[in-house]
Homo-oligomer: A and B are copies of this chain.
């Protein structure tokens, strides 16, 4: 067990973290909010809802009651925090500053053996925040399936070859983060054939689907993939 996880469990040991397993979760962060139809799609999946600090201010406006509010709680208003308390929402205040509130929520879910996480509000006009969130997502991507969702894309790190469905004409962006070697694709307007993608060297973004099925194969490294999401 890493020192980071140990400290986290020590901080919140008054909560019995191991009483249940969370299969699927949606984390709400305090960035750009998705359109209602996207939020509703993920709410319909009966997920465990984690509200990270200031995201509570927009969840209140949207009449969404989370299962837990987590973070150092310096951004959610006292009024909104009381609103959730009165509705018996669990409040987990963790003041340590070694991790961001987003990471605290992932540590909580990892401790509950959560396998599938969707993150809403991870991207914002503060690019340093967005990149910080991407870096944290990468750190936990080998432990659980994490995707960040905005109005256009599902964004995730992948470490092995993937296939997925799309619609011809739609954007598919991917970028070696920092590097992916031996990338070969099918179903894309600008195909790659055993080529390396490396941040600052060569990008693979701004490609387009020419088929209903995309295959992205690579031999090593990490790809950050942006897929247009299809709500059904």
A126 in contact (CB, < 8 A): yes
Most buried by B among A32, A128, A138, A178: A128
Per a CB cutoff under 8 Å, which of B129, B155, B205 touches A132? Answer: B205
The answer on a CB contact under 8 Å between A175 and B132 is: yes
Q: A97-B190, A178-B178, A190-B97 are in contact. Are A203 and B136 (CB under 8 A)?
A: yes
A224 in contact (CB, < 8 A): yes
A127 in contact (CB, < 8 A): yes
Q: Which chain B positions have C-beta within 8 A of A127?
A: 123, 130, 150, 153, 155, 226
The answer on a CB contact under 8 Å between B135 and A200 is: yes
- The residue of chain B having its C-beta at the shortest distance from the C-beta of A97 within the complex is B190
Q: Which chain B positions have C-beta within 8 A of A126?
A: 152
Interface size for A (C-beta < 8 A) is 39
- The residue of chain B having its C-beta at the shortest distance from the C-beta of A197 within the complex is B135
Main secondary structure of the interface of A (DSSP, over half): mixed
- The residue of chain B having its C-beta at the shortest distance from the C-beta of A201 within the complex is B139
- The residue of chain B having its C-beta at the shortest distance from the C-beta of A136 within the complex is B203
Q: Which chain B positions have C-beta within 8 A of A130?
A: 127, 130
The answer on a CB contact under 8 Å between A153 and B128 is: yes
The answer on a CB contact under 8 Å between A128 and B200 is: no
Q: Which chain B positions have C-beta within 8 A of A128?
A: 153, 171, 173, 175, 205-206, 226
The answer on a CB contact under 8 Å between A135 and B173 is: no
Q: Which chain B positions have C-beta within 8 A of A28?
A: none
Q: A131-B205, A201-B139, A205-B132 are in contact. Are A125 and B97 (CB under 8 A)?
A: no
The answer on a CB contact under 8 Å between A177 and B152 is: no
Q: A132-B203, A177-B199 are in contact. Are A125 and B138 (CB under 8 A)?
A: no
A160-199 interface with B by 8 A CB criterion: 171, 173, 175, 177-179, 190, 199
Most buried by B among A135, A173, A206: A135
The answer on a CB contact under 8 Å between B205 and A139 is: no
The answer on a CB contact under 8 Å between A32 and B125 is: yes
Q: Which chain B positions have C-beta within 8 A of A190?
A: 97
